Amino acid sequence: MTYAKLHDDEEDVDLDEDEIENINVRCQLILDPNGGECECSSFMYTKGSEIGTLPRPIRPGYTFIGWYTNSLEGRAINSSEVISEDMTVYAQWTK
């Protein structure tokens, strides 16, 4: 049996080799609504997967422009974007 810690604040967990391999091929995409509200805050993907269509957040008085790699500028994220590591994307808005 192999022992692994998924996060620093967790206790050791007994995992077999297949479970450890699955952890190493998963990525988390965190959605930061940047002042708005979103139906979901994160998604889990297999590394190398396309992100696909992300939910549209809402923010009264603003129009959603899209999901970006930075809260102020950054690069726009599209549905064919491939995820290879944990990342956060930020909603950008126009008034």
Q: How confident is the model at residue 13, as a pLDDT?
A: 56
Phi, psi of 71 (to 5 degrees): -70, -20
Q: How confident is the model at residue 12, as a pLDDT?
A: 55
pLDDT one-digit tens code per residue, 1-34: 333 334 444 455 565 666 555 556 889 999 999 9
pLDDT one-digit tens code per residue, 22-75: 556 889 999 999 999 999 999 999 999 999 999 999 999 999 999 999 999 899
Q: How confident is the model at residue 25, as a pLDDT?
A: 83
Residues 79-88, mean pLDDT to the nearest whole number: 95
Q: How confident is the model at residue 80, as a pLDDT?
A: 95
User: Considering only CA atoms, which of 49, 1, 3 is closest in space to residue 26?
Assistant: 49
For the chain, where are the E strands, in sequence order? Answer: 2-4, 13-15, 26-32, 42-46, 49-50, 63-68, 82-83, 87-94
